[in-house]
Amino acid sequence: MNTRRYWQDKTIVDEIVTILQKNRIVAGTSDTIIGLIAPLTSKGFDTLNRLKGRSDKPYLVLVARKEQADQFTDALKKEPLKTVVENCWPGPLTLIVPTKDSVPSFATSASKTIALRVPNHPGLQEIASTMGGIFSTSANPANQPVPQTIDELDPTIKDSVALLIDDHNETKKNPSTILDCTGNTVKIVREGAYTKEMLRDYLPNLT
């Protein structure tokens, strides 16, 4: 049975980093929904695919700060996204943007785009900073409901991860809002914690 630890534990970040450096997976709470985190490596990508039962799309990449995101894309240096990230990161907003040519294919879509987010979560930020970014995805098999608590995790996932991370103060949270920023206009792919109305101040032409 997997060990359950808590974000409040003093050594938890170091323990998670050690696990990820061994190309293993962790499941736990975050600033949004219950998720899986994996190293930003080809093996990490393949392990998530096996665990989720999918291989049709890339995974979200969590970064520690906007400057780390700039290693993957130049899109955030320009308006209106520059203003968006200044006001909405860290937070529950995922941006799909064009990638630099140097970004490995396992982290991008076939059309060379990447989904980036800075979490409003000190532990995840520290892990992403140390690891140079981490893969993140909801902790459910493909096409199955997303668990609301660690106890609701699918048994297959629960038995396959190296560690379960909970929060003593856990409450139900909304998923991140996802914006497609790859075209001439910014489009909402999924409305989550940030509503369309909340983003209008930064993206008046949001569709």
The 10s digit of each residue's pLDDT in 72-119 is 999 999 999 999 999 999 999 999 999 999 999 999 999 999 999 999
Whether 100 contacts 10, CB under 8 Å: no
- 178 domain residue, yes or no: no
Tell me, what's the pLDDT at 172? 78
pLDDT digits (tens, 9 = 90+) for 54-78: 887 899 999 999 999 999 999 999 9
- 182 domain residue, yes or no: no
For 203, counting Cβ atoms within 10 Å of its Cβ (0-12 exposed, 13-18 middle, 19+ buried), the class is buried
- 54 domain residue, yes or no: yes
> Is the pLDDT confidence value at 176 over 70?
yes
Domain encompassing residue 94: 4-173
- 193 domain residue, yes or no: no
Number of neighbours of residue 74 by Cβ within 10 angstroms? 11
- 197 domain residue, yes or no: no
pLDDT digits (tens, 9 = 90+) for 133-147: 999 999 999 889 999
- 154 domain residue, yes or no: yes
- 130 domain residue, yes or no: yes
Domains contained in the chain, number: 1
Tell me, what's the pLDDT at 112? 95
**Token pair belonging to 182:** 């790859």
Provide mean pLDDT across the span 19-32.
Answer: 96
CATH number at residue 147: 3.90.870.10
Tell me, what's the pLDDT at 106? 95
Beta bridge partner(s), residue 190:
178
- pLDDT averaged over the chain? 94
> Is the pLDDT confidence value at 29 over 80?
yes
- 185 domain residue, yes or no: no
Amino acid at position 131, single letter: M
Helix (H, G, I), strand (E, B) or coil at 94: strand
